[in-house]
Structure 1
Amino acid sequence: MISAPPELLSDLTELYQDLHRHPELAFEEHRTAARVADRLRALGCETVEGVGGTGVVGVLDRGEGPTVLLRADLDALPVTERTGLPYASVHDGTAHACGHDLHTTWLIGAATLLARRYTEWSGRLLLVFQPAEETGRGARAMLDDGLYERFGTPAVAFGQHVGPGPAGRIGYRRGVTMAAGDAIRVRLRGKGGHGSMPDATVDPVVLAAATVMRLQTVVSREIAATDPAVLTVGSMHAGTKANIIPAEAELGLTLRSVEPAVRERALAAIERIVRGEAAASGAPEPDIELQFGFPALVNDEHIADAVLAAFTEHFGKERVVPSALIPASEDFGLLTDGGRIPAAYWFVRGSDPVAYAEAQARGRVAESIPTNHSPYFAPVLDPTLATGVETLAVTALAWLAR
């Protein structure tokens, strides 16, 4: 039985709270990466910084055996924290509202446990601390920087994410687990002028408003109800002053889908609507930029079954629960090299169990329990911290145990 001892959990709590206080955005995770690298070197890992920009890779080599990749992400979000925690972010407008600080701490904890128990396993641990997950660019940046050419191709890859649900439970799923994700930037051009003379302009604010409303029909009217898809306009920027009609407006869109054919249909509809609304407004041709896209995250079914068995043996079947398909997206899937590296990904629940049960009894979970990306998102550390450390360590030992 492998478990995180109290002294390790105390040390990891201090690390987590420090990382939480000092969040850093995508490709700016310099302080976080330095802390990670120091920890890895102290464990005796071969450690390389600056992989894919601000990524860190640690290798623990214990002789013959498979290479197992364990991954955590480093970056925070452009969100102002509202949790009121004593260790809340000291950087206004930046916060670990998705839990990547906990992911990083989990992986340091698992690496520590496995380094201490080195006589029990053989093979190689590839510890990947990835930047820029929130922008969808971090995994690709590490791969483009020669991740596997420099450190070896793993036999299997694993990752995990904290999320809402009773703390201590583990959500797991076979097959498609998270949606594909695309980020699209739309630049709408108009003709600026005085707010009192709109007849002499082409108003991109009105154009943007019409475009946003029309985009709501992509999923509701062009995608079958049986095909999961989400299209959200998450940002709209235009203008500087009430009496000035600006020359441009910009929209930020995110598309989530599962089936490739649905993705292609939705992307085509977005382009058609944006160009059509611009033409209807007499506006110049807009710019439509696909900023990034990555595929659905798919759990290899054989690997998933093996991990599920390891979790059930370690935690008990009451703590391992089925997970629904998650419409959010993760670039972890890129690390599978197009599915050639079998992988599994799971969810560690982090909500206060009492508060969650009360909200569930009232039918108000959505209203009462903060989710990832909320300014109020704050996982409870007991038992979430220990659970996430042990899930990674147990999984690694399932492949590496002698």
Structure 2
Amino acid sequence: MSATTSSPFASVIEKHIPNLKTYEELYKHFHRNPEISTIEHDTSARIATELKTLNEKHGSPIEIKTNIGKTGLIGIHRNGPGPTILLRADIDGLPIQEKTGLDYASTKTQLDTHLDNVEKPTMHACGHDFHITCLLASIETLLGCTDSWSGTLIYLFQPAEERGCGARMMIDDGLYDLSRHGCPEPDLCLGQHVFPFRAGTVHTRAGSTMSAADSYRITIHGRGGHGSMPHYCVDPVVIASHVVVRLQTLVSREVPPDETAVVTVGSLKAGDTVNVIADVAILQVNIRSISQTWRRVLLDGLKRIVNAECEAGRSPKPAEFEKLNEFPLCYNDEEVTKKVQKTFDSHFGSEHMPDMKPVLGSEDFPLLGSSIGKPYMFWFWGGVDPEEWDRRVKEETLNELPVNHSPFFAPCINPTLRTGVEAMVVGALGFVQKDTN
């Protein structure tokens, strides 16, 4: 039990939280069977089955809507007058080969029919299997304590977070169109993410919490020819190399030292053999920022630098910019965050960390609120075994922990599962709990 004795939610959770042994097995099922973004058909079907089972146990209070944005689904739980709160979990895995050695490790491969029709190893390397399982267990807890709260809860299972398109796919498919899916607009949205922090802890922050991310594929044109005759050619590799180096000055010389930003050139490809100057060089660039002001500076600087280096290198035609994906800045609403932090303080006590630093990872979760002008709040909870965490603190080896997207990423099941369930339940009840005065 992670709650403090002063928590107004402790008795509700103790009475109604389900036997988590069942959910441990469900978690292992999802971990063994990850699916790549936009093609999470089996995952979505299993979630729908779990929701139907919960309905059978509790008299069918949840209205289930499937196939929203292809593989997204929601459960609408109306329980009297009050605010409408959306609780979100993402459901997709990653094209990574798992190397954890767990007895429930994924050995699955999947044909990525959405992207390139290539068979890929697949892994839940970002904890979305935990997100699914914790939300399902939270739903069962909330179903058991309906006399303690009043309002409407929307349980949303979102596809394709890893590619930054799942929230938009659901919204564009009429998520909030009552005539289409029957889903009311929420008053606010809540979400959470497991992270390489000490298990049992919950971490929050008001304001800028996760970075915006903008990714581009940039094609730089040259004039190819024999490696022995560079004076007859325009070498796009040289131009691209200058671009790579010059882009680093965006952070070091154009963004203030007390701001946070990252510019990464993830790949540079040109040519196929040693003695040929290529026609084109292709860069893939990722830019992360935690303010809209400096996001604009970085994006403007990207195009300025690429175009200037192409001109300096006598490129025969302008560079081409292809937007690969875009993640919004995650800016937690101040008032909503204060309320969540107050409830987390009362429930988790010293295990709640309300002053976490911004995370340079990115999420499309904010779109679920910002697209309709509603507030949202996103928090993190730990998944590193406490004994391992404490040992690494002493050894000063925390930087060697496997992190999200690592083939070795493996959050411990306990107490990670229970903490994730309690955080989601407490976060929701903080807005819909009945006044007991």
Provide the TM-score with structure 2 as the length reference.
0.85
Is the contact between residue 17 and residue 137 of structure 2 (CA under 8 Å) also seen in structure 1? Answer: no
Q: 1:94 to 1:244 in 2, by over 3 A?
A: farther
Any conservation in 2 of the 1:8–1:109 contact (CA below 8 Å)?
no
2:130 is the alignment partner of 1:119 = no
Does the CA contact (< 8 Å) of 1:294 and 1:334 recur in 2? no
For the residues of structure 1 that align with 2:234 and 2:48, how far apart are their CA atoms? Answer: 53
1:265 is matched with: 297
| One-letter amino acid matched to 1:52 | G
- Listed as ranges, the matches of 1:1-400 within 5 Å are 1=11, 2-3=13-14, 8-44=19-55, 45-90=62-107, 91=109, 93-150=121-178, 151-194=183-226, 198-283=230-315, 284-337=317-370, 340-366=373-399, 368-400=400-432
Deviation at 1:43, TM superposition (A): 2.0
Quick one: percent identity of the two aligned structures?
43
| SS of the residue 1:327 aligns to | coil
In structure 1, C-alpha distance between the alignment counterparts of 2:235 and 2:281, rounded to whole Å: 9
Number of equivalent positions: 401
In the alignment, is the contact (CA less than 8 A) between 2:213 and 2:286 conserved in 1? yes
Determine helix, strand or coil for the equivalent of 1:329.
Answer: coil
**Higher deviation after alignment, 173-182 or 201-210:** 201-210
Q: Distance in 2 between matches of 1:195 and 1:19?
A: 52
**Contact map agreement 1:72 1:130 (CA 8 A) in 2:** yes
Letter in 1 for 2:152: R
Q: Pick closer, same or farther for the CA change 1:235–1:42 going to 2, 3 Å.
A: farther
Paired with 2:157 and 2:241, the residues of 1 have a C-alpha distance of 40
Cα gap change, 1:319 to 1:237, in 2 (>3 Å): same
Cα displacement (A) at 1:203 = 3.3
Contact 2:192 2:380 in 1 (8 A): yes
Contact kept? 1:4, 1:386, Cα under 8 Å:
no
Distance 1:175 1:398 in 2: 19
The amino acid across from 2:299 in the alignment is L
Asked if 2 retains the 8 angstrom alpha-carbon contact of 1:4 and 1:390, the reply is: no
| 1:4 to 1:37, Cα distance in 2 relative to 1, 3 A | farther
Please state how far the C-alpha of 1:13 moved relative to its aligned partner.
1.5
Q: For structure 1, which segment, 234-243 or 184-193, has the greater mean C-alpha deviation from structure 2 after superposition?
A: 234-243
Measured in 2, the distance between the counterparts of 1:192 and 1:216 equals 27
Name the CA distance, whole Å, in 1 between partners of 2:124 and 2:270.
28
Once the two structures are TM-superposed, the CA of residue 79 in structure 1 deviates from its matched residue by 2.3
12-21 or 246-255, which deviates more: 246-255
What CA distance in whole angstroms lies between the structure 1 residues aligned with 2:39 and 2:49? 18
- Contact kept in structure 1, 2:16 and 2:141, CA below 8 Å: no
Q: Deviations over 1:149-181 (max 9, x none)?
A: 231111121000111111010011122211222
Letter in 1 for 2:148: E
- Aligned mates of 2:76, 2:64 — CA distance in 1: 7
- TM-score, structure 1 as length reference: 0.93
Cα distance, 1:142 vs structure 2: 1.4
Go from structure 1 to structure 2 and tell me whether the alpha carbon gap of 1:5 and 1:81 turns closer, same or farther (over 3 Å shift).
farther
Partner of residue 4, structure 2:
none
Q: Hey, what's the Cα distance between the residues in 2 that align with 1:291 and 1:172?
A: 30
RMSD: 2.2
Q: Deviation per CA, 1:132-152, whole angstroms, max 9, x where unpaired?
A: 111211112211112122311
Whether contact under 8 Å (2:208, 2:291) holds in the other structure is: no
